[in-house]
Copies of this chain bind each other. A is one copy, B any other.
Amino acid sequence: MIASPYLLYLGHVNDEVGIKTSRGLAVFRPDECVGEFRHDDCELTLGLPRMDFAEAVAAGARTLVLGIANAGGKLGDDLVRDALAALAAGLDVASGLHNRLRDEPVLVEAAARHGRELHDVRDPRSDIPVGNGKPRAGKRLLTVGTDCSVGKMYATLCLEKGMRARGLKADFRATGQTGILIAGSGVPLDAVIADFISGAIEQISPARDDDGWDLIEGQGSLFHPSFAGVSTGLLHGAQPDALLLCHDPVRPHMRGLPHYSLPGLKETLEANLQVARLTNPAVQAVGIALNTSKLSPDEAARLCAATADALGLPCTDPFAHGVDPIVDRIIACFEPSSRVATPSL
């Protein structure tokens, strides 16, 4: 287990999406985050006290979390230098990047010398089976998206909170490094060997018979040419009863690919339903989740209303406005006779 509290790393990153792991922890595990580490050229903040490594140790931090993301997940010289300084100061180091801390001999040596631990959150377990597609008991919802990093993890975590508040059993199933750090378990899906993508999802969301929901964190997009294979295997492994479509309305193009524009919401939903039907022909869409953080409250409200009208589905910003309309739809579709609480207002 990774020792908390955490110091969250921002480094030199100046791209909001690039610090999503650090921000996710700050948002969903605020009590376990004592500060943020950033270089002078980093203009972002998580709203936590800025600390160097010695200050973080003095404030009680146990682990530096390298909570930054980049395509391919490389471990650059900058990161290695900072990780070495953190180890020397007395911190463990946790990373969600593709390239492993344990593959850097200088880090392994320094950790041993200082008596510290290295955690590679992106190491999948070794007993992942090949997926079998057999129908299994229980209800599952999967978040899907028009692109990478459009709020699938946020939407899934908000939905867990919202469904529990309405008296439903619901459990977040993490498929990415941030989600795993938040949930304490899960599978780092993009680090799994290609043949085992769907099997990994079958493994983390096995049959359940307690009338509860597995809420599975989506990854990538069927329309992202770099990562659609992951999204496809995830859809097949999840056997979702319900899909929640996530979208960032101000994203200018597919993440990292200026030559690819975003697909439409209707097109995205139809493609995801089509792929999902292979393992669950009864799959239904239950709503749209928009990340409206860059819009004014008025713009956000108008866009959610227009989107709901256009798609015939409830639409909300789960983080800003809650998930009640989506929970209502889930109850209407799947829990018609159950006794559940009315929405909180």
Query: Is A129 interfacial (CB-CB < 8 Å)?
Result: yes
Number of residues from A at the complex interface, CB < 8 A: 45
Known: A193-B191, A230-B195. A131 touches B236 (CB 8 A): no
Task: Check if B229 sits within 8 Å of A98, measured CB to CB.
Answer: no
- Copies of this subunit: 2
Query: Is A93 interfacial (CB-CB < 8 Å)?
Result: no
Query: Is A226 interfacial (CB-CB < 8 Å)?
Result: yes
Distance to closest chain B CB from A5 (angstroms): 30
| Cβ 8 A contact of A225, one of B133, B192, B194, B257 | B133
Query: Is A278 interfacial (CB-CB < 8 Å)?
Result: yes
Distance to closest chain B CB from A131 (angstroms): 4
A228: nearest chain-B partner, CB-CB:
B232
Task: Check if B278 sits within 8 Å of A225, measured CB to CB.
Answer: yes
User: Within A197-247, which residues are at the interface with B (CB < 8 Å)?
Assistant: 197-199, 222-223, 225-234, 236-237
Distance to closest chain B CB from A258 (angstroms): 10
Q: How far is the CA of A85 from the CA of B112 in the complex (A)?
A: 41
Distance to closest chain B CB from A117 (angstroms): 24
Q: How far is the CA of A187 from the CA of B223 in the complex (A)?
A: 24
A239: nearest chain-B partner, CB-CB:
B225
| Cβ 8 A contact of A197, one of B223, B229, B257, B260 | B229
Task: Check if A229 sits within 8 Å of B230, measured CB to CB.
Answer: yes
User: Within A265-304, which residues are at the interface with B (CB < 8 Å)?
Assistant: 271, 274-275, 278-279
Q: How far is the CA of A228 from the CA of B228 in the complex (A)?
A: 10
Query: Is A189 interfacial (CB-CB < 8 Å)?
Result: yes
> Can you show 9 pairs from A to B with CB atoms below 8 A apart?
A72-B196, A132-B225, A132-B257, A133-B226, A190-B193, A194-B233, A198-B225, A229-B230, A231-B232
Q: A73-B195, A231-B232, A271-B274 are in contact. List 4 more A-B contacts (CB 8 A).
A: A130-B226, A197-B230, A198-B226, A226-B236
